[in-house]
Amino acid sequence: MTTIVLIRKNNEVVVAGDGQVSMGNTVVKSTAAKVRKIDKRSVVAGFAGSTADALTLFERLEAKLEKHAGNLSRAAVELAKDWRTDKYLRRLEALMAVGDKEKSYIISGTGDVLEPEGDVIGIGSGGNYALAAGKVLMDTNMNAEEVAKKAIKVASEICVFTNDNITTKKV
């Protein structure tokens, strides 16, 4: 598992993720990059779950964004539809937190496309810890990137499947 947090604050959108890859109770890598940016469409995404599955979904999201002229809402819904109904994709085990300048979503393999009520999304094994920390830190003078990094750091101190090798991307 992993921990991903998306923070939307002061016209910035930042996705941060830890670097730990675990197989069962063993850490096999501590510096994985689980956060990606689609520069052409100003979209950032973070993935929790199987790395290969997440990369497959990221490629699909990028294709959907191209097909729908950068409309993140439409691309997210179309990806979720494919994910839920396609025989191959249905087996993928991952969650995605995606955002652009206007919208943020959690996309799941069950066909869910959820827009959070607030400006913080947390997914993965330490997602709830990062979510709670992020919500508290939103009321500080910290910028979006600082909030995201601190939220992952807090999660890494609680969740054994999360470390503090943090990668961030912003739009």
Nearest to 94 by CA among 72, 77, 79: 79
CATH number of the domain enclosing 100:
3.60.20.10
Residues belonging to the active site: 2
What does the pLDDT read at residue 44? 97
Residue pair 109/94 in contact (Cβ under 8 Å)? The answer is yes
Containing structural domain, residue 40: 3-170
Per-residue pLDDT of the chain (171 residues; tens, 9 = 90+): 789 999 999 999 999 999 998 888 899 999 988 999 998 889 999 998 877 777 778 888 999 999 999 999 999 999 988 877 776 666 667 789 999 999 999 998 777 899 998 999 999 999 999 999 999 999 999 999 999 999 999 999 999 999 999 999 999
132's torsion region: left (phi>0), alpha (psi -120 to 50) or beta? alpha
Whole-model pTM: value is 0.93
Strand 26-29 relative to strand 12-17, pairing: unpaired
Q: Are 134 and 122 in contact (CB under 8 A)?
A: yes
Encoded tokens for 144: 């979006």
Q: Provide the pLDDT for residue 56.
A: 79
- Total domains present in the chain: 1
